[in-house]
Amino acid sequence: MTANSSISRLFSDLTDVEVSEIDRARAVARLGAERGFSWKELLRSKRILIVSEAGAGKTFECRAQKERLWTAGEPAFFLDLATLAGSSVLEMLSREEEERFDAWLRSQSEIATFFLDSIDELKLTLGKFDQALIRLNKAVAGQLGRARVVITTRPVPVDRELIARHLPVPKPAEAVPTAESFADMAMQRHREKSADHSSPKTWRNVGLMPLSKDQIRAFAALQGVSDPDALLVDIRQRDAEEFAERPLDLIELCSDWRDHHRIRSHREQVEANIANKLKPSTERKDRASVSQEKGVEGASRLALAAMLTRRITLRYAEAPLRCHHGLHG
């Protein structure tokens, strides 16, 4: 997926229940449009779970933030969870990244940010979430208090206990108080309180909010659409707002508009959306390939089963974990 970092995406807080329910998570994200917050606020927390549906831009956003932090000279690393389940952290790093990682371990003061992408892909490839977390724990060598961890997933149940067990946030050690240190702490606390009345949450579940109308307009311009306002009108007339709110689908809408100066019917949009979701990932190597025809047939059977049973969640067993995958559409 292509996009541009000049479009600042926003996030909204999610409860543990909303994390695993795609419809509720999407509704919360839409309702929270006016109180959304940026990456700057989000990265104040030490453990972050980003939950959004396919095509929302989670992977792109994490890669972009990793590059932003890296360019600023900070230790920041993007790790694919499915790969981490079978490889060490150091095996996944480039030489330059390994050097900065080693420098961070020696520094004893810097905060390193680890972007772990994506829990749902890990489960689909029969990887082990706990094994991936153990490998990261081992790599940071007792420096979890200086590690910020951002994990992405689609709206599926996530075992937060595993994260808390393998990547806990240690309580800061208390130094022996002295008169001088007490005065320094009092002054520092006063300054912090004056600057910010709310302390950051240690753990945070968030959803990546849909693109706003202004962001859709800006995104369309970046995609080479010469008249984005006319595109917005056609999107509204063809009831395509749901697709336009996701970057991956908006790229397709912009392509239609550039080629034909119109967008397809709602049915054609749904068909194209399904086809996009069934395409193999360009960012991760799939362990098994399935033809488009087989993928459509399988998805159709699952959709029919979900409709007949009036359930939008399908479950499958994977020893030793039990995983849940939401089906929407």
Say yes or no to pLDDT of 64 above 90: yes
Greater confidence (241 vs 271) lies with: 241
Q: Over pLDDT 90: what percentage of the chain?
A: 43
Greater confidence (132 vs 298) lies with: 132
pLDDT at 261: 85
Say yes or no to pLDDT of 300 above 50: yes
Domain ranges of the chain: 11-169+200-208, 213-289
Greater confidence (163 vs 195) lies with: 163
pLDDT at 318: 47
Q: Over pLDDT 70: what percentage of the chain?
A: 74
Mean pLDDT of all residues in 153-175: 82
Q: What counts of helices (H) and strands (E) characterise the chain?
A: 17, 8
pLDDT at 320: 39
Q: What is the mean pLDDT of the chain?
A: 81
Place of tokens 């839409």: 30
For 316, counting Cβ atoms within 10 Å of its Cβ (0-12 exposed, 13-18 middle, 19+ buried), the class is exposed
Rounded distance, CA 74 to CA 95, Å? 16
pLDDT at 230: 94
pLDDT at 319: 42
Say yes or no to pLDDT of 322 above 50: no
In 3D space, the residue among 54, 34, 36, 80 whose CA is nearest the CA of residue 249 turns out to be 54
Mean pLDDT of all residues in 86-94: 96
CATH number of the 11-169+200-208 domain: 3.40.50
pTM given for the model: 0.75
User: If DSSP codes are grouped into helix, strand and coil, which group holds residue 199?
Assistant: coil
Mean pLDDT of all residues in 36-47: 95
In Å, what is the CA distance from 21 to each residue of 27, 154, 267, 318?
10, 10, 24, 20
Say yes or no to pLDDT of 222 above 60: yes
